[in-house]
Amino acid sequence: MADVKSGVNPLFLREEELRQGMELLFYAYRDFTAEADDMLERLGFGRAHHRVIYFVGRNPSIPVTELLSILRITKQSLSRVLGELVRRGYITQRPGLRDRRQRLLELTPEGIELERQLSETQRQRVARAYRHAGAEAVEGFRKVMLGMVEERDRDKLAARSADRPVAVRR
């Protein structure tokens, strides 16, 4: 009775369902990044620069180590792109007050403007998808996506929907 063709096989359906989810991740990420990549190329930057600009803009005064733990790359890889962004005037570094070993990162006004432009198409893409799918679907999207993320990063992300400061840095 293992009738594969009729789809009564729950294992087959499950596998198919999971593969569809995997593919959605691939396709969505592919298209999510494509437009910003074009813009970056015209500026002589790459996707790595965008990630740094994005997360510095999102976490003003972030120390280097924390940025590394978000990006999950080595400090050498980061310092290459970070150095360019600092030299070209998009990011500034200042020593931490409590811990003067730290270099706290901030976007300059130019950095803020660049971040805004770069993320604009991406925000629009997400906005469009949210609008078409509806509020309930968005809740489901968040739940599932959060479940894909490593546990140690979940709180940080889940907190984002609340209307309160997520972290306090001085």
Partner DNA sequence: GCAGATATGTCAACATGGCTGACGTAAAAT
Partner DNA sequence: ATTTTACGTCAGCCATGTTGACATATCTGC
Distance CA 24, CA 141 (A): 12
Q: State the nearest-atom distance from the C-beta of 111 to DNA, in Å.
A: 16
Q: In one letter, which amino acid is 92?
A: T
121 binding a second copy? (CB under 8 A): no
State which residue, 10 or 100, has the beta carbon closest to a second copy. 10
- Contacts (CB under 7 A) with DNA, residues 39-98: 40, 44-49, 51, 63-66, 71-83, 93, 96, 98
Q: Is the Cβ of residue 86 or residue 138 nearer to DNA in the bound state?
A: 86
Kindly state whether residue 167 participates in binding a second copy, applying the rule CB under 8 A.
no
Among 1, 10, 30, 101, indicate the residue that binds a second copy (CB under 8 A): 30
Residues in region 21-40 near DNA by CB under 7 A: 40
Q: Which residues contact 122 (CB under 8 A, 6 or more apart)?
A: 32, 35, 36
> Measured between alpha carbons, how far is 17 from 6 in angstroms, rounded to an integer?
16
> What do you get for the CA distance between the two ends of the chain, in Å?
66
Residue 137 sits in the site that holds a second copy (CB under 8 A): yes
Write the single-letter amino acid at 22: M
55 vs 80, 99, 165, CA distance in Å?
A: 16, 21, 16
Residues of this chain that interact with DNA (CB under 7 A) are: 40, 44-49, 51, 63-66, 71-83, 93, 96, 98-103
